[in-house]
Structure 1
């Protein structure tokens, strides 16, 4: 009996190969703990949540610093309604500005403000150092390349079989 044996009543019983079970459990443990710890680090060091950081970073990927709420939701892989609520809160804090889209008045544009850019400038060095310490330092060149390739293949399957369209900047 392996330590990865899954009881028949488990929702993971479909994983009948020890290597698959091990990979899935390892991924779940890491992604759940990593998001928790990154959120905690950002809150402690910069007073911002990880989900807010995700929004602000996504806006920097556009040269104008502006995206529609829908495009922003696609980019960060979140529900449009959640992103809409989140951006209203960030606008209240002066980190983004909201405006009706000039082409489609039903859409809302979200623009990163100078205060939002400044917060990212202050928060990013500590966040990057933390990610390096708890994630990147565990990888050597070979394992980093292998992990990147695996995640890129997984991402393509998510695009092919998921419900969100491909973000415009991820060809």
Structure 2
């Protein structure tokens, strides 16, 4: 049993890291047969319904703009995505899926549906929905955290000192 706030935060973080690994493994399992990676699927999926800027995709996914840019450049090179002019911003192009990219995403859908149904059966649909709601609430709370250094806290340890 977790006994204090710090232990709760640590336990939540460790579980989130484990879940991230599990979701990435599942995503690779689903994407590989159609010739895409989990990362490609993630970026393509972000623009499935509407073109977005690289920055908007990064914000939505909680990853760096640079990582999205590298992936988008690869996908554009492979003909799965394209850059479009953005009427709202001259320099920030919109990223959109091509018909080939959208077809790759659609090809994943049947297996995705099978695994989603299996997971819903294992958890129970209402428990599954409650888990998603709790994860959403946790994400919103993390977004609301004040990440400024705390008054009186120790100076940050340089990464080289941790190794």
Partner of 1:47: 35
With over 3 angstroms needed to count, the CA separation of the structure-2 counterparts of 1:22 and 1:70, relative to structure 1, is closer
Counterparts of 2:28 and 2:111 in 1: how far apart (Å)? 12
Q: How far, CA to CA, are the matches of 1:100 and 1:146 in structure 2?
A: 40
1:27 to partner: Cα distance: 4.0
Q: Secondary structure at the match of 1:98?
A: strand
Answer yes or no: is 1:77 the counterpart of 2:62: yes
In structure 2, the CA distance between the partners of 1:152 and 1:37, relative to structure 1 (3 Å rule), is closer
Q: Residues 63-142 of structure 1 correspond to what in structure 2 (within 5 A)? A: 66-133=51-118, 135-142=119-126
- Residue 47 of structure 2 aligns to a residue whose secondary structure is helix
Superposition RMSD on alpha carbons, in Å?
2.8
Q: Which moved more, 1:109-118 or 1:154-163?
A: 154-163
Say which structure is richer in helix. 2
4+ long deviations beyond 3 Å? 20-28
Unaligned runs of 5+ in 1: 6-13, 164-171
Cα shift at 1:52: 0.9
TM-score by length of structure 1 reads 0.71
Tell me the distance in 2 between the aligned counterparts of 1:153 and 1:38: 23
Provide the C-alpha distance between the structure 2 equivalents of 1:37 and 1:114, rounded to a whole number of angstroms.
24
Unaligned runs of 5+ residues in structure 2 are 148-163
Superposition deviation, residue 127 in structure 1: 2.5
Q: CA deviation at 1:55?
A: 1.2
Partners in 1 of 2:54 and 2:26 — Cα distance?
27
1:37 is the counterpart of 2:21: no
Q: Give the number of aligned pairs.
A: 146
Distance change >3 Å, CA 75–CA 105, structure 1 → 2: same
